[in-house]
Amino acid sequence: MLISNAAISHRSTIFALMVIAVITGIYSYIVLPRESTPDITVPYVLVVTPYEGVAPGDIETLITLPIERKLKGLKDVEEIRSVSAEGSSMITIEFKTDVDIDNALQWVRDKVDQAKGDLPTDLENDPSILEVNLSEFPILMVSVSGDLGETVLKEVAERLEDRIEEIPGVLDVVLTGARERQIRVEFDPERLAAYRLSFADILGTISQENVNIPGGSIDIGKGKYLLRLPGEIEDPDEIDNFVLLSREQKPIYFKDIATVRDTYEDRTSHARLNGRDTITLAIKKRTGENIIAVADQVFGLLEVARTLVPDGVELSVTLNQSKDIRRMVTELENNILTGLLLVVSVLFIFLGLRNAFFVALAIPFSMLISFVILQALGITLNMVVLFSLILALGMLVDNAIVVVENIYRHMEEGTGRIEAARIAASEVGWPVISSTITTLCAFFPMIFWPGIMGEFMKYLPITLIVTLSASLFVALVINPVVCAAFMRLGGREGHPLPEESRTIAFYRRSLEVALRRRGWVLLGSFAFLIGIVTLYGVLGHGVELFPDTEPNRAYVEIKAPEGTNLATSNGMAQKVEEIAKDEQDLRFVIAEVGTASSDSGGESLQANYSKVSLDFVDRADRHEGSNQVVARIREALRDFSGAEIKVEKQKEGPPTGPPVNIEISGEESSILGELAQQVRKRIKDVPGLVDLKDDFTKAKPEFRIEVDREKANLLGLSTALISNTVKAAISGSKLGVYREGKDEYDIVARLPEERRQQLADIENLLVPTLGGDPVPLSTVAQVELRVGFGSIRHLDQKRVVTISANTYGRNSNEVLLEVQKNLEGLDLPAGYRIAFSGEQEEQQKASAFLGKAFLTAIFLISLVLITQFNSVAQACIVMTSVILSLSGVFLGLMVTVTPFGIIMTGIGVISLAGVVVNNAIVLIDYINQLRSKGMSLDEALVRAGTVRFRPVMLTAITTILGLLPMAVGVSFDFFSLSLEVGGESAQWWGPMAVAVIFGLAVATLLTLVVVPVLYSFSVAPPWRKKREV
């Protein structure tokens, strides 16, 4: 082999490269950014338009539809969703994942600009175009809680915010749960009436007085002087003495008709941590910064801050991505080290200490070279990359085993070590390259996985391709060089030779019997496959998209009816908190009242929504599984009245939506609501279906002010003037700002809270007239209680209602099939359609892609094999081992009581296709070499089988042992020197490991017997009269 010969001839250069690989590899591993999940680009763009005080129906007509009509022409769009809620419109555009997000943002800006001419002229702010960037999501959440009052908590939080923002790796700190200070001017309606003043008469006074206008400059003598007219308020109490107007030469002061209060803005939400009021700091890191390094700096600052805050104030970290990443990295590192220990132990047993050392070199050098390449590619160290390294662990030594074993065999035959290294590398070089390429061919199609799922999972094939390519380099360059320099002959001290002879002798006899009964062997092999698949169809445990793992967090979402006020929603959240507080495995119970989150990451203030987050203690400290706690809380909330309750576990991996997600689209909201109720009625009793809800927002009660335009016109009033007066009195009108140091606080005029509680307060509101004397609102308008629209949702410009549910205690696909069966025959009006989305949609997409990827991998592998052997028949022999390996996959799923995972088992099967062919390639290549030297067919088959028995078994066993800790969920923690059982990563990746382990085990046994039998059939089929001997 040219590359191996060149390396052996330049051994000093290779040793120098090895040193460089060690140094750069260790450095790359240290500096590689750590994160729990891959840093993927989410192709969502949001268009958010606030229009305060406007009803959802008007938001839809005036804002959402005009913008949607312009967005319709965008290219490369998957779907457009929108929510028209009270006071705001939010449109979510999902682009295809291969679209450059910067281009997408510009396209959306251009379309929104085109729509601005169709939007209301009184919009205070233009629509905001936002990118959903996962890298800007908080890495830490710090809660400031206590019983010392809002003012103290806010002061502590703001000081902490300033200090954290000084940390170099921190991008931003967002304070939530703290109300802003507000200077409020509250007017007395009776005093206004006594002075014959309206609310509108006084709004401009403060803005005219609270000014600081430069007067230019003036030259006096030889000097130049600036002119300033300082009129800004220096103390809120100054407003009391502002002169509103004069009557009969007597000034009317603000203090005569209003009270100035230094207070806070109205409460629109509540936040609590373990029952105590809290203010939260959401800390975001800069792009490219290491999460763990940034988090450590924040923790150091918090340790100091805890010694300085007042007694009774507690600083708690409620979200810590760095802890999750540390745990995951440590868990996967332990799996790697445990697997490595098992692999090296087996190498020692089979090869002896010296040869085991030469082979084991492949693992660290392949890993170190891979770290360098991964860093160069800008890939982070995350759960997908780390599992890929585990999957590759056992395969890294495959090539090295073949090369080192062959070198040692030639040395045993009397060849010098340098020449033995040259000859051995040349003999197995192309088979090793071919087997590696076939493995890469299996993973290569997965790089092109579309969608967010593909963006998440593509790091698996990329990492494996990099790592296995590095192992090929090590096997053909480093291993021959090291063996040529240091290999010595000696007894294989790692195992007793007689035992090995008995094992090989047993295999030889078995193979000879199999070759005499070729037909029965093939019939039995395929009968075994058919039997296992049939048995799995009867005893299997269903299908799932991703494994169901024990969550670290769970959420209780509370949706009260439209029109529910904040106080009522707060009471509901407190009931849930009361239920959860007695659970001993919960570290934090966090309540957020009045804030609703969307699937695309946006948030809006909605008084009828609440969420209670349940944060579990560390897995090792739990008294029971977190799934059991979630189930118990769900059961306790079963009879919760007055609101819809949804209990949901935090899910790992890419977003997929609920297991049951039904979308009904059409034109009329009322009909959609009726259809949603029919669907819920049909499926509510399906076993295993929990948390059933829909997002149809029932009609919201509202007071509608109907202006008598004729009366208003006679008094010189316009609808706009009346509307602005009502809005200012009830919601408040901003009159200016009060500056204190670097901070600015709004000055707002409105009626006192106690004077805007009743319908009569609105009817008695004074409105100015042309004659100067204000009149009550009831004179020119009638206030009626009516029912308006709730939130209105669109999917691709059509109104849509979504019915969703989770599953518990039953396979989600089985539940979904029963749901679909119950909905058969549902009578839909013309123009209305029903569709299943969410996890079901993602599962169908994943199944379709993985099926194509598997066929593509088979085609590519076959192409390589045909090129390698120049024989279609021999390529088919190798591919038969792939088909037979499926019996091992289904057997493993039955033995471990594991559902067939579309993602995990599917990727495992594809991975298997690339792995199982390797041994068959090496075996057939050696058979061809022996027959080319004149050896008879049967003799060549038996000889090749016995000579390649050990390498074949070794490569299979090392791959299996490398994955074993992940499959069984047991590994040794080398940092705490303890045994880890049932880790989170094992729950997530275990099904894939099971598929590869059992599939490879069965395929290896079949390879050693069935491949020689098939080869015999291809050369000497039974229909020939004379068989070659």
Domains of the chain: 1-31+361-494 (1.20.1640.10), 43-132 (3.30.70.1430), 181-264+701-788 (3.30.2090.10), 496-549+838-1029 (1.20.1640.10), 550-651 (3.30.70.1430)
What's the angle, vertex CA 568, arms to CA 567 and CA 573, rounded to 5? 95
Token digits for 603?
Answer: 């948030």
pLDDT digits (tens, 9 = 90+) for 302-350: 999 998 888 888 898 888 888 877 877 777 677 677 777 877 788 777 7
State the Cα–Cα distance between residues 966 and 386, nearest whole angstrom: 12
pLDDT at 370 over 90: yes
Percent of the chain with pLDDT strictly greater than 70: 93
Residue 36: CA count within 13 A, CB half-sphere? 20
Q: Quick one: average pLDDT of 443-452?
A: 87
What's the angle, vertex CA 17, arms to CA 13 and CA 19, rounded to 5? 120
pLDDT band, residue 404 (cuts 50/70/90): confident
Residue 314, SS3 per DSSP: strand
Residue with tokens 């460089």: 20
pLDDT digits (tens, 9 = 90+) for 622-679: 888 888 898 899 888 888 888 888 888 887 767 677 888 899 998 888 888 889 999 9
Residues 144/315, Cβ–Cβ less than 8 Å: yes
State the Cα–Cα distance between residues 281 and 172, nearest whole angstrom: 10
Residues β-bridged to residue 260:
185
Candidates 901, 168, 228, 188; CA nearest to 545 is: 901
Candidates 776, 727, 779; CA nearest to 52 is: 727
State the Cα–Cα distance between residues 318 and 143, nearest whole angstrom: 7
pLDDT at 1027 over 70: no
State the Cα–Cα distance between residues 60 and 424, nearest whole angstrom: 75
Quote the pLDDT of residue 494: 42
pLDDT digits (tens, 9 = 90+) for 910-935: 888 877 887 788 788 888 888 888 88
Q: What is the DSSP letter of 266?
A: P
Quote the pLDDT of residue 800: 92
Looking only at the bridges linking them, the beta strands covering 543-544 and 900-901 are parallel
What's the count of helices (H) and strands (E) in the chain, helices before strands? 32, 34
Candidates 200, 238, 251, 53; CA nearest to 749 is: 200
Q: Quick one: average pLDDT of 846-864?
A: 89
pLDDT band, residue 982 (cuts 50/70/90): low
pLDDT band, residue 301 (cuts 50/70/90): very high
Least confident of 243-252, 295-304, 1016-1025: 1016-1025
Of 573 and 786, more confident: 573
Angle at which helices 383-393 and 362-376 cross, to 10° = 150
pLDDT at 1025 over 70: no
pLDDT at 1028 over 60: no
Quote the pLDDT of residue 653: 67
pLDDT digits (tens, 9 = 90+) for 235-268: 888 888 888 878 777 888 888 888 888 888 888 8
State the Cα–Cα distance between residues 291 and 512, nearest whole angstrom: 60
Residue 260, SS3 per DSSP: strand
State the Cα–Cα distance between residues 144 and 281, nearest whole angstrom: 8
State the Cα–Cα distance between residues 133 and 101, nearest whole angstrom: 10
Query: Across the chain, what does the average pLDDT equal?
Result: 84
State the Cα–Cα distance between residues 588 and 488, nearest whole angstrom: 62
What's the angle, vertex CA 913, arms to CA 910 and CA 914, rounded to 5? 100
pLDDT digits (tens, 9 = 90+) for 671-729: 888 899 999 999 988 998 888 888 887 666 778 888 888 888 888 888 878 887 888 78
pLDDT at 498 over 70: no
Looking only at the bridges linking them, the beta strands covering 223-230 and 276-285 are unpaired
Of 203 and 829, more confident: 829
Looking only at the bridges linking them, the beta strands covering 743-750 and 733-740 are antiparallel
Candidates 501, 498, 625, 499; CA nearest to 554 is: 625
State the Cα–Cα distance between residues 440 and 468, nearest whole angstrom: 8
Percent of the chain with pLDDT strictly greater than 90: 14
Backbone CA torsion sign across 508, 509, 512, 514: negative
pLDDT digits (tens, 9 = 90+) for 789-833: 678 899 988 999 999 888 888 888 888 889 999 988 888 888 899
Residue with tokens 């510009």: 106
pLDDT at 496 over 70: no
Residues 878/1015, Cβ–Cβ less than 8 Å: no
Candidates 179, 199, 160; CA nearest to 746 is: 179
Residues 339/393, Cβ–Cβ less than 8 Å: yes
DSSP assignment of 542-568: -EESS-----SEEEEEEEPPTT--HHH
Quote the pLDDT of residue 470: 94
Identify each DSSP E strand in 292-409 by its residue range.
Answer: 313-320
